[in-house]
A = this chain, B = another copy of it.
Amino acid sequence: MPADDANVRRPTLTEVAALAGVSLKTASRALNREPNVAPSTGRRVRDAADTLGYRLNGIARELRRGATSSLVGLVSGDLANPFYSAVASGIERELRQHGLLLITANNDEDAELERSLVDAFLERRVRALLVIPSADDHGYLAIEGNRGVPFVFLDRPPDGLSADAVLIDNAGGARSAGEHLLAGGHRRIALVSDLRHMAPQKGRIDGFVGAMRAAGNDAWEPYLRTDVHDVRHAERTVRELLALDPPPTAIFTTNNRLTTGALRALRDQQRNQESDRATPPALVGFDDFDLADVLGITVVAHDMSAIGREAARLAYERISGHTGPARTIVISTSIIARGSGERSPH
């Protein structure tokens, strides 16, 4: 009884009309609750539709209405990363208000794949395309951008074209993290960052370095580590940092993955040194995360769900016909002190 009848044609509007004894157009009007349909006729048509198990064919409708769907595409990294899923959740909530649906696809951090996913979405005639890009060169989007499909970039600025964007105040957040640690008396501060050629990471590195420069501190320089791209690598990197002589007294990690890695390294260090009760280094991480409160981790927080919401809002405005120059929204950050960032240098 399941999909055996996968080839069973679904009833069409014509059949509903026939059963109700009215014309195609009248049936259409009745089901769409358009004016100028006699109440009794309307009821008869709807009954017929129910009897047949009729369901509107959205594909045909959309073709007729101008070949544009009610779908909005999101191309991002893996939803298993809480950053992406929080953003996606914010987008979906906002779109739903306007009757739009979200299609998601994971670019696997691969520029080629990203490009082909964008293509696939455009073929599906999405109304707008939201991208958290992995690729650096978005020139390939330029043609599309000018052909009526609004683009919104999230987390990374458009590169090589003009489009709406929602960004995080990366430099500002990282600067305040640096200042926070400096204010705590730290000088030997390690910076563990992800791929430096990615704009958000670059912004965070620059912000941190700016804070150090402004304070005339250069004791952090031997502890700079960039292009650390996953949890395992971060764990290893932090372990190596802790083994240096002298070790850094504080660590700043520039995204949630790196913070996780750092926490694993610190936990192991704690375990091994249980006897001599060494004070662990201070830790501040960019991106808030679940249970950071329980772990007592100081973070540079920002509203991920708002990033999605704002991006969806920008997209919706374009869909609704808003024209004008590209806009950029910058989401602000704030330090949430929970203990790990307030440990003083031992």
Chain A residues within CB distance 8 Å of chain B: 1-8, 10, 53, 55-60, 62-63, 67-69, 71, 78-80, 82, 85-86, 88-89, 92-93, 96, 101-106, 119-125, 143-150, 162-164, 260, 263-264, 267, 289-291, 293-295, 305, 318-319, 321-326
In the bound complex, do residue A2 and residue B163 qualify as a contact, i.e. CB atoms below 8 Å apart?
yes
Most chain B CB inside 10 Å of its own CB: which residue of A103, A106, A121, A294:
A294
Contact in complex: B123, A2 (CB < 8 Å):
no
Q: Which of B85, B162, B264, B321 touches A82 (beta carbons < 8 Å)?
A: B85
Complex contacts, A58 vs chain B, CB 8 Å: 123-125
Q: What is the minimal beta-carbon distance from A3 to any residue of chain B, in angstroms?
A: 4
8 contacts between A and B (CB under 8 A): A2-B164, A2-B325, A59-B63, A82-B85, A93-B106, A96-B105, A103-B103, A263-B294
Are A85 and B80 CB-contacts (below 8 A) given A57-B123, A123-B58, A323-B4? yes
Beta-carbon contact of A67 and B56 below 8 Å = no
Besides A56-B123, A82-B290, A260-B294, 4 more A-B contacts (Cβ < 8 Å) are: A3-B150, A6-B321, A57-B63, A85-B85
Residue in B2, B89, B146 whose beta carbon sits within 8 Å of that of A162 in the complex: B2
Residue of B nearest to A127 (CB): B6
A191 to chain B, nearest CB (A): 21
Q: Are A101 and B103 in contact (CB under 8 A)?
A: yes
* 8 Å CB contact of A7 from B79, B148, B290: B148
Q: Give chain B nearest CB distance to A114 CB in angstroms.
A: 12
**A69 cross-chain contacts in B, Cβ below 8 A:** 59, 124
User: Given the complex, which residues of B lie within 8 Å of A120, measured CB to CB?
Assistant: 101
The answer for the CA separation of A121 and B305 in the assembled complex, in Å, is: 24
B318→A2 contact, CB < 8 A = yes
How distant is the Cα of A331 from the Cα of B163 in the complex, in angstroms? 44
Among B68, B96, B145, B294, contact of A295 (Cβ-Cβ < 8 Å): B294
Q: Is the CB of B59 within 8 A of A146?
A: no
- How many angstroms between the C-alpha atoms of A57 and B66 in the bound complex? 11
